[in-house]
Structure 1
Amino acid sequence: MNTPRIQIFPTLQALTAAAIDTVLEQAAAAISKRGCFTIALAGGNTPKPLYEGLAKANTPWAQWQIFWGDERYVPHDHPDSNAGMAMATWLKHIDIPTANIHPMPTDEPDPAVAADRYEATLQQVLAPATGTIPSLDLILLGMGPDGHTASLFPHTAALQVRDRLVTVGDKDGQPRLTLTVPFINQARYILFLVTGANKQTALRHILSRTGDPHTYPAMLIEGQCTWFLDQAAAEGVVKQQGV
Structure 2
Amino acid sequence: MNKRVEVLANVPSLVQRALELILSQMHTAISQRGKFTIALSGGSTPKPLYEAIAKQQLPWDKIHVFWGDERYVPPNHADSNELMARCAWLNHVHIPTNNVHAVPTLSGNPAVDAAKYEEHLQTFFQTTSGEFPSLDVVLLGMGDDAHTASLFPHTAALKVSDRLITVGNKDDNQRITFTYPFINAARNVIFLAAGANKRPALAQVFAPVADDFTYPSRLIKPQGELVWLLDAAAAAELNP
Q: TM-score range by the shorter chain?
A: over 0.9
Could you say what secondary structure the match of 1:114 adopts?
Answer: helix
Find the counterpart in structure 1 of residue 50 from structure 2: 51
Could you say what secondary structure the match of 2:206 adopts?
Answer: helix
Q: Alpha-carbon deviations, 1:14-36, whole Å to 9, x = none? A: 01011111111111100000001
Distance 1:39 1:144 in 2: 21
Q: CA deviation at 1:123?
A: 0.8
Runs of 4+ in 1 over 6 A off after TM superposition: none
Q: CA deviation at 1:132?
A: 3.3
Find the counterpart in structure 1 of residue 228 from structure 2: 227
Could you say what secondary structure the match of 2:117 adopts?
Answer: helix
Q: Alpha-carbon deviations, 1:19-67, whole Å to 9, x = none? A: 1111111111000000010110000000000000000011101001100
Distance 1:112 1:66 in 2: 22
Find the counterpart in structure 2 of residue 67 from structure 1: 66
Task: Compute the RMSD of aligned alpha carbons.
Answer: 1.2
Distance 1:161 1:180 in 2: 7
Structure 1 stretches of 5 or more lacking a match?
A: none
Distance 1:186 1:231 in 2: 29
Distance 1:212 1:58 in 2: 43
Q: CA deviation at 1:4?
A: 2.0
What is the 5 A alignment of 1:172-183?
172-183=171-182
Q: CA deviation at 1:131?
A: 6.2
> In 1, are the aligned partners of 2:130 and 2:163 still within 8 Å (CA)?
no
Identity of aligned residues (%): 51
**What is the total number of aligned residue pairs between the two structures?**
238
Q: CA deviation at 1:129?
A: 7.4
> In 2, are the aligned partners of 1:193 and 1:229 still within 8 Å (CA)?
yes
Distance 2:174 2:180 in 1: 17
> In 1, are the aligned partners of 2:36 and 2:63 still within 8 Å (CA)?
yes
What is the 5 A alignment of 1:118-157?
118-128=117-127, 132-157=131-156
> In 1, are the aligned partners of 2:196 and 2:234 still within 8 Å (CA)?
yes
Q: TM-score, normalised by structure 1?
A: 0.96
125-134 vs 99-108, which moves further = 125-134
Distance 1:58 1:210 in 2: 44
